[in-house]
Structure formats: structure tokens, C-alpha cells
Amino acid sequence: MNKISIIVESVLAAGIVALFILFFTVTPGSKKAASADVEAQGEMLPIAVVNTDSILKHYTLAVESTDKLQAQYEESMVKLDTKAKAFQKEYETFQQDVINFQKKVEAGAFLSRERAESEQSRLQKKEQQLMAKQQDLENLRQKLSADFMTQQAELTQQLQDSVQAYLREMNDDGRYHLILNDAVLMNKTAGYDITDEVIEGLNARYAR
């Protein structure tokens, strides 16, 4: 997994940690059903636990969206890198021109003062152009980063909406009073984990 992939998944995971701390409004009838479930299960409480990392890795919408976002960002960075390398080459040529100019001045190689001043003026204009190009590259880099962060936020919100909608649909009968992300729990919760069920349901809904 490359660095960009790790960054994307880390941001998405951080963005939906709170997603699964969901409280459900349970109707009287649902409370009765939930109470019956608790009695039938002995010590089991009407709560469920899901694993955010597993959902990000196995929910088709999350995987496809993350891959697409990564590809777009990588393509943008490749283009930026190409422009940066072209700028570096142009800057190195300019530096050599400045060195050559200085050597000619010191050697008195210019045929006239006007010729020297003309070359000096050209180099000054070139320097200004390079400074402007450098600023343009920095502005582009900042824009790409800002756009990437915006797209990450939008993707996080999309996943939040998608998973929340499914969990509410799945819990329409009020079987769970609380659904938690296991990242907020200190101990393992065997018997309460419904991650596989949620992933299967999410992917089935997404495939429709």
C-alpha cells in the first residue's frame, strides 16, 4: 500500500470513527421486542459493534471511491512534478546564463556598454518570469492539496450517509439500542460484532 493510500484511508477512518456511535429512537413495540431479545440471549445487551477498518477495506463503495480519489490525486501530482522538473531545468539554464554574463563583464567581452546592459535587462526579465512561474507552481501545489482535502471530506460524508442509512434500515426493528465503532472500546466484544453482516448488506445494496 503506497503512502497516498495510507493517507486517504487514515483520513477516511478518522472521519467516520464517530459515525458508529449511533443512538436509535426505539418505539414501545420495538422496546418490547428488544427486551425479549435480551432475555432470550441471557447476558447479551441490545448493542452492536462494527469495525471501521474492515468496512473501509471491504465495502465496495468505499474501496472504489478511495481508489478513484487516489488515482486522481496521483495523476495531478505527476503533472505537477513534470512542471516542476521543467521549471528546474529552465532555472538551471538561467543560472548558467548569469554566470556567463558575469564572466563576460569581468573579461570585458561585450563589444559595447549597450550590449551588456541589454543582456543584463534580459536576465532581469527572465528572473522575474521565473519567480512568477515558481509562485504559480506553489499556488498549484496548494490548490491540489486543498482540492484533495475537500474531496476527502466529501467522500467521508458520502460514506457516513451511506452507512448510517443502512444501519438505520437494518435496525428498523429496534433490535439494537446502540451501535458502536470498536475503535472506542478498550476490550474485545465477542458476540456483539456485526461487521460482516453490515458489509454484506452494504455491498448487496450497492450492487442493486
Residue pLDDT, tens place only, 131-164: 999 999 999 999 999 999 999 999 999 998 999 8
CA neighbor of 67 nearest in space, from 126, 19, 1? 1
Model pTM above 0.85? no
pLDDT of residue 47: 87
Place of cell 506553489: 138
CB 56 within 8 A of CB 9: yes
Q: Break the chain into its structural domains and give their ranges.
A: 3-207
Residues in contact with 191: Cβ distance below 8 Å, sequence separation at least 6, in sequence order:
44
- 203 versus 46: which is more confidently predicted? 203
CB 167 within 8 A of CB 21: no
Strand partners, 22: 179
Task: Give the Cα separation of 62 and 195 in Å (integer).
Answer: 15
Structure confidence at residue 187 (pLDDT): 63
pLDDT given for residue 43 in this prediction: 63
